[in-house]
């Protein structure tokens, strides 16, 4: 009787898509206006989902207030109102595409959530561009 619970949070950040091994021309060719050297930004919406068996005493799978606090402490404090390329350790050597951001968020939260829960992340870079990890 496994249930999935999801908490939605958001952060606002600047970023730039860029591969330092490439010339500026190649970066512009591949990433277009997303490679603007002065950065652009997004309101990122994030859904953090846990899968497991609810506790019969509480009727909760996981207290969503505690999940919200974990997201605030480990993700929002690091990413909200930040420049992802310059202000975080995660994207010093990793291109902050939505695909890479969603995997990084999963890797960070995985350390703080008991392995009896399956963990999934969905990230909206815009209303029309969305990534999920893991895929299934």
How far is residue 10's CA from residue 75's CA, in Å, rounded to a whole number? 10
Q: Which tokens is 32 given?
A: 């277009």
User: Is position 97 an interface residue for a copy of itself (rule: CB under 8 A)?
Assistant: yes
Query: Could you say which of 9, 34, 45, 132 is catalytic?
Result: 34
Q: Which of 75, 82, 109, 119 binds a copy of itself (CB under 8 A)?
A: 82
CB 47 within 8 A of CB 81: no
Using rule CB under 8 A, residue 19 touches a copy of itself: yes
The answer to whether residue 94 forms part of the interface with a copy of itself (CB under 8 A) is yes
Catalytic-role residue among 10, 40, 81, 112: 81
Asked if residue 81 binds a copy of itself (CB under 8 A), the reply is yes
Question: Which of 48, 45, 46 lies closest to 6, judged by CA?
Answer: 48
Phi, psi (5° rounding) for residue 65? -70, -40
Note whether 115 binds a copy of itself by CB under 8 A: no
CB of 107 to a copy of itself, least distance (A): 10
42-60 burial: b if 16+ Cβ within 10 Å, else e? bebbbebbbbbeeeeeeee
Residues 6+ apart with CB under 8 A from 110: 119
Q: Rule CB under 8 A: is residue 48 a binding residue for a copy of itself?
A: no
**Which residues would be at the binding site for a copy of itself (CB under 8 A)?**
1-10, 12-15, 17, 19, 21, 30-34, 36, 38-43, 47, 51-52, 54, 57-61, 63-65, 80-83, 86-87, 94-100, 102-103, 118, 126-136
The set of catalytic residues is 34, 81, 125
């Amino acid at each position: 009787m496994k249930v999935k619970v999801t908490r939605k949070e958001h952060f606002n950040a600047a970023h730039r898509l860029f591969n330092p091994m490439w010339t500026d021309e190649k970066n512009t060719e591949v990433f277009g206006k997303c490679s603007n050297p002065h950065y652009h930004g997004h309101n990122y919406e994030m859904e953090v989902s846990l899968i497991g068996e609810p506790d019969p005493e509480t009727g909760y799978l996981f207290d969503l207030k505690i999940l919200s606090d974990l997201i605030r402490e480990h993700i929002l404090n690091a990413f909200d109102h930040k420049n992802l390329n310059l202000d975080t350790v995660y994207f010093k050597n990793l291109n902050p595409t939505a695909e890479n951001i969603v995997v990084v968020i999963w890797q960070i939260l995985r350390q703080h959530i008991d392995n009896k829960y399956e963990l999934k992340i969905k990230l909206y870079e815009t209303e029309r561009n969305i990534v999920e990890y893991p895929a299934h």
